Amino acid sequence: MAKQESLIELTPEIFQGLSDKKAAALAQAADALHKRQATYALLGMACGTLTLLACIGAFVYLAIQNHPKEAYVALGTAVLAMIGRIIKARL
């Protein structure tokens, strides 16, 4: 079962006991928090994808220009960073 995070630690019974205005404000605050987290995750994935594509582009450019050692370094950096992120996400 996935861990559910709460904006503040309220049980469903306490939440139902709140006034309508307080409950609506709390729900809006939680919604804004989730939107911010989703935006952060999306921007992080977009930046990571652009970085990976830039490293692949650098590899191709350097390989075409007869710089094989530098090309391998550019590609190796991207691959090692990706492997590191996958491992870190699993921990």
Residue 3 has a pLDDT of 52
* Segment 66-86, tens digit of pLDDT: 999 999 988 888 888 888 888
51 occurs within a structural domain: yes
pLDDT averaged over every residue in the chain:
82
pLDDT band at 44 (very low <50, low <70, confident <90, very high): confident
The pTM of the full predicted model, rounded to 2 decimals, is: 0.63
Residue 1 has a pLDDT of 40
Q: What mean pLDDT is predicted for residues 26-51?
A: 87
Say whether pLDDT at 2 is over 60. Answer: no
40 occurs within a structural domain: no
Number of domains in the chain: 1
Cα dihedral sign for 9, 12, 15, 20?
positive
Q: Provide the domain limits for residue 71.
A: 47-91
Give the containing element (helix H, strand E) for 4.
none
26 occurs within a structural domain: no
